Structure formats: C-alpha cells, structure tokens
Amino acid sequence: MKGLRIIVLAKQVPDTRNVGKDAMKADGTVNRAALEAIFNPEDLNALEQALRVKDKVDGSTITILTMGPGRAAEVIREGLYRGADNGFLLTDRKFAGSDTLATSYALSQAIRKIKDFDVIFAGRQAIDGDTAQVGPQVAEKLGIPQITYAEEVLDIKGKEIIVKRRLERGVEVVSVTTPVLITVHSSAADCRPRNAKLLMKYKHARTITERQDATEDYLNLYQTRPYLNIDEWSTADIVVEDEALGLSGSPTKVKKIENVVFKAKESKVLSPSDVEIDELMKELIENHTIG
C-alpha cells in the first residue's frame, strides 16, 4: 500500500485550564503572559491518530502545520519529538487579529502550497476559543469532506478510511475516501510521549528566525543536518489576498469583554449539627422549596 501524506493542524494556546489569580488584568483583559503556552490538547489527540496511521501504513509522512507567533515553532518541535516528519510555521503580523474565517483561509492557502495530502487531522477545538470552527472551515475552503468528533481511525483500505465518531448521544462509524479532513475529539487516545531518540535528533531544530542569533557552532551543525530546518512561511510565501487576512478578513468583531461576576449572596453559615439541619429542613419544607 502506498503511504499516506498526512497534515496535522496544531495550535499553540495559553493554558486556560489552569487559570490563576493573575490571569486577568485589572481592566478585564487576559494576561497572556501569566498563562503557560501549550500544545492544544485535542491537537495532541489528532497527532496521535496521525502517528497511528503512519505506524500502520508504511511510507506515510506527517507534516505539522501551525499558525502563530515565532514561539509557536515549539509546537512543531513537539510534533517532531513524537514522530512527525517535518513542519511549517505560518507566521506574519498580517495574521494578527484573525477570527476563524480568516484563520481557515490562511491555513487552507498554506495547505494548497504544501499541495499533496491525503488526510488532514486537527483537534476538534482549541481551548483558548472552544469554537470548533477552523477544522470544518478549512475543509470547506479546500472543497473536501470533513469528519468531526473522531475518536478513532478504525481501518484504512487504500483510499478508504473508516472512522469512529463520538457524538453527544452515542457513536457513529463512517467511511470516506481521501482526501478528507478529520477533527479529533478529546475522548480519543492520548498522544504518545516524546521519543528519546527523536528528541536528541530534533532538539536543535530551528526556524530561520530562531537561527538569527545562532552561534557559529550551531550554524556548522545545521549545515550538516538539513533536517534541523523548520520551514517558516509568511504571507509572501503563500498565495493570499491581504484583505482576507487579520482584522480586515474577520467578519466577527469583539464589541465588549466583561469579567464574569456572580452576584454574591449573603449566605447563612450552618454547622452540621442535628439541631441546625433539623431547622433548615423545617424552613425549606415550610417555604415549599422542597416537599
């Protein structure tokens, strides 16, 4: 069987799951600096499904595609440590302020430049927005079918892929012929850890921007090991209309951001003594809250 050319869409996100006290600034905006930047969790689930396909079908390759600031190259290195073959960092100031429509446009144009692919895997959604929109929108822009909420790739027979989907009320098994975009749900298998050999191999992988301050020793190393290059693309490297990027390409605008404030109540504090609980129950029954 011919190998599959796989692209994994991955995003570096602030870890909104572990929001501490200093995560919000006094003006109600998010203090990104206070939040650790991580590999979006469901994108790791997506990477694992890609790696399993690669394990199963000889000759398959995995390309990580990420869009973000320069530091998002970390996501590509994490992918390489786990078994991806190469990666592209899409980075440009013109992308700043992109909503999901502008983001999916930029990603789809980068994918057109990568050109040859059979399957695109992406996490269902990113934890900094929870929209679950970029995957389906990339699929639409490329004119290919989408399979959302995937839990497991069950089988691959030539161009046919069988996928189990996890839905709110149950599961569905579907078949599709490639090319296809698959978004992977958090109920899918966790991503395997970094491979020690691959970590050694790729720990010095850098984008051109990251190499700017490199020492001579590093540049010598890089000369002999071309795989240490992480490709970095700006808007000049892909075919895009600037109008469709960033704020101007984003139909959604944020009108207002508010801190979540719950009206504090004056609570009555009780001890778990028999007397106090007896009283509470009497009161709740009398005012018809219960009973």
List binders of another protein among 128-147 (CB under 8 A). Answer: 128-137, 139-141, 145-147
- What is the rounded radius of gyration, in angstroms, for the C-alpha atoms of the chain? 24
Residue closer to another protein by CB (options 216, 258) is: 258
- Non-local (6+) Cβ contacts of 9 within 8 A are 43, 46, 65, 66, 107, 120, 121, 122, 123, 134, 135, 138
If binding is defined by CB under 8 A, does position 269 make contact with another protein? yes
3-state secondary structure 105-167: HHHHHHHHHHCCCCEEEEECCCCCCCCCCHHHHHHHHHCCCEEEEEEEEEEEECCEEEEEEEE
Closer to another protein by Cβ: residue 226 or 291: 291
Helix (H) or strand (E) holding 175: strand 170-177
Distances in whole angstroms, Cα of residue 254 to Cα of each of 106, 116, 139: 21, 36, 25
Among residues 24, 34, 114, 199, the one that binds another protein under rule CB under 8 A: 24
Check whether the bond before 179 is cis (ω within 30° of 0).
yes
Looking at the Cβ atoms of 61 and 187, the one nearer to another protein is 187
Task: Find the binding residues for another protein in span 92-121 (CB under 8 A).
Answer: 99-101, 104
Name which position in 57, 114, 162, 199 contacts another protein (CB under 8 A): 162
Point out which span in 42-50, 127-135, 188-196, 229-237 binds another protein (CB under 8 A).
Answer: 127-135
69 or 136, CB closer to another protein?
A: 136
Residues binding another protein: number (CB under 8 A): 75
Range 59-75 burial, b when 16+ CB lie within 10 A, else e: ebbbbbbbbbeeebbbb
Nearest approach, Cβ of residue 254 and another protein (Å):
6
Closest by CA position to 66, among listed 144, 135, 8, 127:
8
> If we measure between CA atoms, which residue out of 157, 224, 149 comes closest to residue 183?
149
Find the binder of another protein among 12, 66, 148, 207 (CB under 8 A): 148
Q: Is 197 in the site for another protein (CB under 8 A)?
A: no
At 157, give phi and psi (nearest 5°). -125, 100
Cβ count near 29 (within 10 Å):
10
Positions in 167-186 near another protein (CB under 8 A) = 167-177
Q: How far is the CB of 165 from another protein (least distance, A)?
A: 8
Q: Are 109 and 232 in contact (CB under 8 A)?
A: no
- 45 touches another protein (CB under 8 A): no
For residue 262, state whether it binds another protein (rule: CB under 8 A): yes
Q: Is 23 among the residues that bind another protein (CB under 8 A)?
A: yes
In the complex, the smallest distance separating the C-beta of residue 177 from another protein, rounded to whole angstroms, is: 6
Contact 84, 52 (CB under 8 A): no
Binding window for another protein (CB under 8 A); candidates: 67-75, 208-216, 221-229, 282-290:
282-290
Nearer of residues 18 and 220 to another protein, judged by Cβ: 18
Comparing CB distances to another protein, the nearer of 223 and 267 is: 267
Q: Nearer Cβ to another protein, position 196 or 257?
A: 257
30 lies in the binding site for another protein (CB under 8 A):
yes
